[in-house]
Amino acid sequence: MKKLLSLTCASAMAVALMAGCASQSQTPSGQASGDAPAAAGSELDALIAEAQGMTNEELFKKAIEESNGQTMYGIGNSSRGATAATSFIEELQKIDPSYTGTIEWSQPKNNSIFTTLNADINSSTHTYSMTLIQDGNQIQSKMINTGNLVNFLPKEWLEAQGVDEAADGHPLALQTLSKVFMFNNLGNKTFTNVWDFVAEGSAPLFMGVNSEPVGKNFLYMLTQDKYATWLKEAFDKLPAAQQAYFQKTVDAMATEAEALGLASANAKYGLAWVKLWVEQFNEQTDDGPICNQLVTTSAEGESGLLVYSKLRSVEESPSASVKNITVAAYQDGYEGPGGYGYKHYLMLVKTAPLPWTAMAFISYMVTTEDGFAAWGKDFGGYSSNPGINKDHSQDGFVDGVDEFPAKDDKGHDWWTSADGGQLVLEDPAYCAEVSPVLSDWIDMLQG
């Protein structure tokens, strides 16, 4: 049965690959030419082309002219968009005190943002102008490939020092959010290699892969060549006895990788890690409860993969402390990926009633410190514009003493480096390419 499913998936994969092939030349909207066929040559495309040559000052004046006395509607996965919107309106009022436009922000629950946006786009009247959205797989397959969301790359973002257009511009990322491997350091249990988290009996705490799709995207990404190779390199540094334990699974996954149509020569290591993880992780409803459990004195030796910034809200007590937590990748000699980076993307809705205001707001969030302040105040989240990130490397210090080392964020460059935290980064195109075969395969592993 399993072999039949794998072969069927492989056929589906081949169809997906053929359908997904497209030229990567750039369109005026700053996207790969195959990304948004429905928007090509549209009026919105022309506006984007014009806007991408404008400074913030020019964009902000366009926004004032367009939306004075009106309300722009935005929708996003982060409630902090409302805070950024208030700050943006105040910025426009500094330019023109008579400006009376507003922004109304909504945050749909239970991953319904895609349904809400598509319903608005297909209706006879249109509400939303822009979105702050997550889950690269669905964004690519449901929104970019259909042209329902359109990319815009602000001039001042492109000109910012250190910006990586290839990594964060297609689509435009507001930020990378890190989920990192942590463990309770009370007792004698250690995690010095990423394979320790899938060793027999480890049972790390993790959100359900179908209740939080970005977690499933993490598992997809482990089969991409870069990250599968990182897993192989970590495997090669295991003691011989541990290698022998994992080897039988790695060998078994060689056939699976071929049947699933995975291109990486090291995909079997990615599949082996995913298989061992999925078959034993301790499923939780949210990262908040995971964090609250891991920091307790009763969680000796437990581990998890969770949003790094959750540590900021821990209330110190005799039974719970951030001092009980070790961020795995911060250990000297740790081997392999230290976690996963998923992104919040900023995009225009193709039927945007107020496109100039939307583009100005997007530019404000990715080019100014005030625009990113709602997110940048916490460690574990990194703007796609390095120039507006705050230094959180001493967030664990109290009165000059490093009381909580787990909070001392080493920053985006360290986390994403092969010589640093080796954060596995979400790639929407790759996730959409492999999800037709890997999603069912992962579900099958869960029984």
* 3-class SS of residue 40: coil
Taken in order of first residue, the domains within the chain and their CATH numbers are 2-175+344-388 (3.40.190.10), 177-342+401-445 (3.40.190.10)
Segments of 329-409 assigned E as strands: 339-349, 381-383, 397-398, 401-402
- CA dist 424 and 359 (Å) reads 29
Give, for 183, the enclosing helix (H) or strand (E).
Answer: strand 173-184
Share of the chain above pLDDT 70, in %: 91
For 34, 141, 145, 399, the CA distances from 20, given in Å and listed in that order, are 8, 10, 9, 55
Q: Which residues of 67-88 are buried (b: 16+ CB within 10 A; e: fewer)?
A: beeeebbbbbbbebbbebbebb
> What is the DSSP track for 120-159?
HHHSSS--EEEEEE--HHHIIIIIITTTSEE----HHHHT
- CA dist 386 and 376 (Å) reads 11
Q: Torsion angle, CA of 237/240/242/245, rounded to 10 degrees?
A: 130
Q: Which residue has the tokens 């507001």?
A: 174
* 3-class SS of residue 386: helix
Closest CA to 312 of 385, 388, 365, 381: 381
Measured in whole angstroms, the distance separating CA 222 from the mean position of its chain's CA atoms is 14
Q: Rounded to two decimals, what is the model's pTM?
A: 0.90
- CA dist 446 and 286 (Å) reads 19
293-304 pLDDT, tens digit per residue, is 999 999 999 999
For CA atoms 336, 186, 393, 304, give the dihedral sign. positive
* pLDDT under 70: residue ranges of the chain: 1-41
Residue 368 tokens read as: 């100014």
Residue 74 tokens read as: 């935005």
For 19, 145, 155, 157, the CA distances from 22, given in Å and listed in that order, are 8, 11, 26, 26
- CA dist 321 and 177 (Å) reads 23
- CA dist 276 and 229 (Å) reads 17
Strands 205-207 and 401-402: unpaired
Closest CA to 81 of 134, 17, 42: 134
| Residue 331 contacts residue 124 (beta carbons within 8 Å) | no
- CA dist 360 and 368 (Å) reads 12
Closest CA to 224 of 137, 345, 165: 137
Residue 150: φ, ψ to 5°? -125, 140
Q: What is the 3-state secondary structure (H, E, C) of 45-111?
A: HHHHHHHCCCCHHHHHHHHHHHHCCCEEEEEECCCCHHHHHHHHHHHHHHHCCCCCCEEEEECCCCC
Per-residue model confidence (pLDDT) at position 446: 86
128-161 pLDDT, tens digit per residue, is 999 999 999 999 999 999 999 999 999 999 999 9
Residue 171: φ, ψ to 5°? -80, 170
Per-residue model confidence (pLDDT) at position 42: 84
